């Protein structure tokens, strides 16, 4: 190999690396929809990457999930439960916490795929990791409120503010108090409890 072709090759590699770097950075800044919808292999490399550093849970990016689930309740971000939990929820829609939430097979498959790919053990971020750590590997909780992490985080919230509060009624109604829950934001600063206001620890 002559010196000139070697130089050319190095230059080409530098240019290629630059292009890849640039395209990746635009992906990180964009809304994230396209970034998400790749194969699962890619998510497995995401640990410690862009999402590893965010404290918010990724917002819901799937239209079917959003429409179907929020018809009756707050659409919980997929990153709040592991894949095994979502699978058990989706395989039992006929008895969905005492309700019938049957879907046509196609919609059911679409939503299941989405939840699988975006579950706590698929898209890591601080919240998802904390929730995962609080669940034993042989457990597949069906409710986010049953996880030790959730219980720990809400242990100081008195019953009268939630179950005894007509505007809240249940810990399952995230958005009643977490004013930005629909954006995937669950930090304390955004908490406004109806009838009580801000939450001061």
Partner 1 sequence: MKKYLFVAALMLGATGENISDLTAAEPGKQLWTQMHMQKKLGKQVSCASCHTADLKQAGEHLRTGKRIEPMALSVNPERLTDPAKVEKWFRRNCKWTWGRECTAQEKQQIMAMMKAS
**Binding window for partner 1 (CB under 8 A); candidates: 54-62, 93-101, 110-118, 120-128:** 93-101
From residue 193, alpha-carbon distances to 10, 79, 138, 140, 199 in Å are 60, 24, 35, 30, 7
Pick the closer one to partner 1 by CB: 173 or 190: 173
Site size for partner 1 (CB under 8 A) = 16
Task: Give the one residue of 61, 110, 148, 173 binding partner 1; rule: CB under 8 A.
Answer: 173
Does 159 help bind partner 1 (rule: CB under 8 A)?
no
Beta pairing partners, 96? 99
| Secondary structure (3-state) at 197 | strand
Does 73 help bind partner 1 (rule: CB under 8 A)?
yes
Give min distance, CB of 66 to partner 1, in A: 14
Contact residues toward partner 1 (CB under 8 A) are 72-73, 94-95, 97-104, 169-170, 172-173
């Amino acid at each position: 190999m002559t010196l000139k072709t070697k130089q050319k090759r190095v230059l080409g590699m530098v240019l290629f690396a630059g292009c890849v770097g640039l395209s990746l950075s635009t992906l990180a800044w964009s809304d994230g929809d396209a970034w998400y919808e790749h194969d699962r292999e890619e998510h497995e490399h995401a640990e410690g990457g862009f999402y590893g550093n965010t404290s918010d849970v990724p917002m819901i990016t799937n239209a079917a999930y959003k429409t179907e689930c929020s018809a009756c309740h707050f659409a919980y971000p997929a990153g709040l439960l592991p894949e095994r939990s979502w699978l058990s929820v989706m395989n039992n829609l006929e008895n969905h916490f005492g309700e019938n939430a049957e879907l046509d097979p196609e919609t059911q498959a679409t939503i299941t795929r989405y939840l699988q790919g975006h579950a706590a053990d698929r898209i890591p971020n601080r919240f998802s990791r904390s929730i995962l750590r609080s669940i034993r590997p042989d457990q597949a909780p069906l409710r986010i409120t049953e996880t030790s992490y959730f219980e720990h985080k809400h242990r100081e919230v008195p019953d009268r503010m939630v179950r005894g509060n007509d505007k809240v009624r249940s810990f399952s109604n995230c958005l009643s108090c977490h004013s930005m829950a629909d954006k995937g934001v669950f930090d304390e600063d955004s908490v406004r409890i109806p009838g009580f206001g801000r939450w001061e620890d």
